[in-house]
Amino acid sequence: MLSENLKKAAANNQELLAMRPLPKETLKSLREFYRVGLTYSSNALEGNSLTETETKVVIEDGLTVNGKPLRDVYEAVGHAKAYDHIHELAKRKTLEESDILKLHQLFYQQIDPENAGKYRSVPVFISGSHYTVTQHQKIAAEMKKFVSWFNKNEQKLHPVEFAAEVHKRFVFIHPFVDGNGRMARLLMNLALLRGEYTIALIPAIRRIEYVGALEAAHANENVFVDFVADCVVATQMDLLRLLKNSGGVNATGGKKQKKNGGVNLHEKILAEIQKNPGVNAPALSSKLELALRTTQRYLKSLIDDEKIEFRGAPKNGGYFAK
């Protein structure tokens, strides 16, 4: 049974998806907005001293900030590069172990070239935690299991629940010498993007609550899932306000004066099937400008609700309204 926060996240996501397609300028602006926001918030959780404005100056203008440690600057630059890369990974069919190593290399290269993109070969401990992380001798095997689990379960769980589980499992392995928290949040957001959700921020002001939820997840995973869902909802609400007040979209969705922009996605997909009996998932995905994974998820829901049925062979069949 879904928690209230997961239900809110799903409802908000419906509203955001109904606003598509957004103008290219708006999409570019939002990507840059979260590039700064996620870099700042994720680094701040780890004690980085740069303000959000300073983070923007560093990653967009390539400038250093007087009086601030060079490492803090490198963390901002590296995180921004890794953020850009998760958008590329979001387009791929599967996640590979090499993708995770590349992500860490992008983040950590300027900080510690010797350990960037490499699993640790020494034991580490999480301060304040009563639990141990994976022994370094077992990291390679555990990461292979992690990637396999990721690809097998991506379509089985609610996208937010899956993203929280990705974060939790990665942190419990702690495969790198440093940067594990930021990597976990990047992978969490990669999972959200792949599930057609927006970037989610965990504000530094919620650090104690965040760490506590992670610690509690060893015994009860629902605590951390609910915390992540709450952060997703908060970020979604901010984005909805931003879009509705920007003039680029109206309150019901789509570009200005876009007809039927606020129609529920289930209804949009059903209407398209009624217009084009026998249409397949890739064609629906292209027509409605949705990720194939998202389209397939809604098709399954419509089948479960007995609104549609699939006829024919798996490779060349199509969907029909009942």
- Residue pLDDT, tens place only, 215-254: 999 999 899 999 999 999 999 999 999 898 876 544 334 4
Q: Which two tokens stand for residue 63?
A: 């400038």
Torsion of Cα atoms, 78 then 119 then 181 then 292, to 10°: 80
User: Domain 4-246 in CATH: superfamily?
Assistant: Fido-like domain (1.10.3290.10)
Block residue for tokens 């304040």? 128
Report whether pLDDT(262) > 60: no
Rg of the chain's alpha carbons, rounded to an integer?
21
β-strand pairing of 308-311 with 318-321: antiparallel
pLDDT of residue 261: 40
Report whether pLDDT(271) > 80: yes
pLDDT of residue 165: 98
Report whether pLDDT(256) > 50: no
Average confidence score pLDDT of the chain: 91
- Region for 96 from its dihedrals, namely left if φ exceeds 0, alpha if ψ lies in -120 to 50, beta otherwise: beta
* Residue range 2-25, pLDDT digits in tens: 789 999 999 999 999 988 888 889
pLDDT of residue 16: 94
Q: Which two tokens stand for residue 185?
A: 């949040």
Q: How many angstroms separate the CA atoms of 140 and 145, rounded?
A: 9
List the end-to-end C-alpha distance of the chain, in Å, as a whole number: 28
Block residue for tokens 């069949």? 317
pTM assigned to the model: 0.81
* Residue range 116-162, pLDDT digits in tens: 999 999 999 888 788 899 999 999 999 999 999 999 999 999 999 99
pLDDT band at 258 (very low <50, low <70, confident <90, very high): very low
* Residues recognised as catalytic: 174
* Residue range 22-45, pLDDT digits in tens: 888 999 999 999 999 999 999 999
Domain borders along the chain are: 4-246, 265-321
pLDDT band at 295 (very low <50, low <70, confident <90, very high): confident
pLDDT of residue 285: 84
pLDDT of residue 247: 61
pLDDT band at 263 (very low <50, low <70, confident <90, very high): low
**Which residues, including other chains, have CB under 8 Å from residue 254's CB and lie 6 or more apart?**
18, 19, 20, 21, 260, 261, 262
pLDDT of residue 136: 97
* Residue range 70-90, pLDDT digits in tens: 999 999 999 999 999 999 999
What percent of the chain stands above pLDDT 90? 71
pLDDT band at 314 (very low <50, low <70, confident <90, very high): confident
pLDDT of residue 292: 76
pLDDT of residue 189: 99
Fold entry, domain 265-321:
Arc Repressor Mutant, subunit A (1.10.10)
- Average pLDDT over every residue of 210-217: 96
**Which residues, including other chains, have CB under 8 Å from residue 224's CB and lie 6 or more apart?**
164, 167, 168, 213, 214, 216, 217
